[in-house]
Amino acid sequence: MQIHAIQTGFVRTKTAQIEGRGHGLLRQLAIFTDRNWTEWLPIYAWVDHPEGVIVVDTGQGSHLLETSKSLHPYMRWEAAFKIEREQEIGPQLRALGIGPRDVKKVVLTHLHVDHDGGLAHFPHSRIVADSGEIARAAGVRGALLGYLPRRWPSWFDPAPLDFAAEPFGPFSLSRRLTEAGDVLAIATPGHTADHVSVVVRDGDTIFFLAGDTSYNEALMLAGKVDGISADEHISIATLHNIKRLAQRDSTVYLPTHDPNSGTRLASRRLAGKCGGSEGSPIVHAMS
């Protein structure tokens, strides 16, 4: 099994998005009044192949840069992206020797543009996402919420992830993504109401491909809700469950925008701990 961290460009947002300020609607509006930008943060996508390649999120796409500036007040003023065409996930996979037909499955943690922006590279893959997230992101309502459904490839018709009441650690819902059961999707609501994460079990170690459950590991450990989440209590419960998992099992926590996710993967550094077994042969970070 291999996990590759593939960086598909950069994003920066207002600092009030990364760590929410205040509560309720004020916390969400604080993104618009905040004048402070974060540094440029990575946009990671993840690839894993136990029984055929599984891609987790597709990163940003260079064709979306201009569109994303014009559609929505959040996109226009509160987020900025940088990506060159050769930094998209397709060319980076080809550099790893993985062609479009090698990718058996694409799992989307959610449908924000920096996670589904590389979909065009996967016309032959089975694409799965949570049905609630698919419904929320579609149509006019989705566009009003800051999704870009009109920029999805015309063939995009994701299969719903049907979760089963099969607990994984503190999480009550999961769905196997491999026959071996070593790759699972789990429901991690918060950043969006139907956000999912993917966990990869490698021996005693869990690689937690976290999407946007938090923007970095420190915020997860501190239980700090971001500025986007609709429901603080749900977000806090999810962050708490990830922390409980990390306290119980050896867990490498890998959020999409954490500048340290690539090195943490390469060194298998466990959440909340320094060190780890350096230089594992099974994991690679690419930029």
Residues that bind Zn ion (CB under 5 A): 112, 212
Q: Least CB distance from residue 45 to Zn ion, whole Å? A: 13
Question: Which of 27, 112 has the CB closer to Zn ion?
Answer: 112
- Integer Cα distance of 286 and 239 in angstroms: 27
Q: Min. distance of Cβ 256 from Zn ion in angstroms?
A: 8
Residue 2 or 131: the one with the smaller Cβ distance to Zn ion is 131
Residue least distant from Zn ion (Cβ): 112
SS3 275: coil
**Residues of 51-84 as b/e, b for ≥16 C-beta within 10 angstroms?**
eebbbbbbbbbbebbeebeebbebbeebbbbebe
- Least separation in angstroms between residue 249's CB and Zn ion is 26
Q: Considering the complex, state which of residue 49 and residue 61 has its C-beta at the smaller distance from Zn ion.
A: 61
Cβ proximity to Zn ion: between 194 and 212 the closer is 212
Q: How far is the CB of 79 from Zn ion (least distance, A)?
A: 10
User: Which of 61, 14, 63, 12 minimizes the C-alpha distance to 39?
Assistant: 12
Nearer to Zn ion, 151 or 269 (CB): 151
State the DSSP code for 37: B
When the beta carbons of 42 and 178 are compared against Zn ion, the nearer one is 42
| Radius of gyration, alpha carbons of the chain | 17
How far is it, in rounded angstroms, from Cα 188 to Cα 238?
6
Q: How far is the CB of 115 from Zn ion (least distance, A)?
A: 6
Q: How far is the CB of 228 from Zn ion (least distance, A)?
A: 7
The answer to whether 282 and 20 are in contact (CB under 8 A) is no
Task: State phi, psi for 90 to the nearest 5 degrees.
Answer: -60, -60
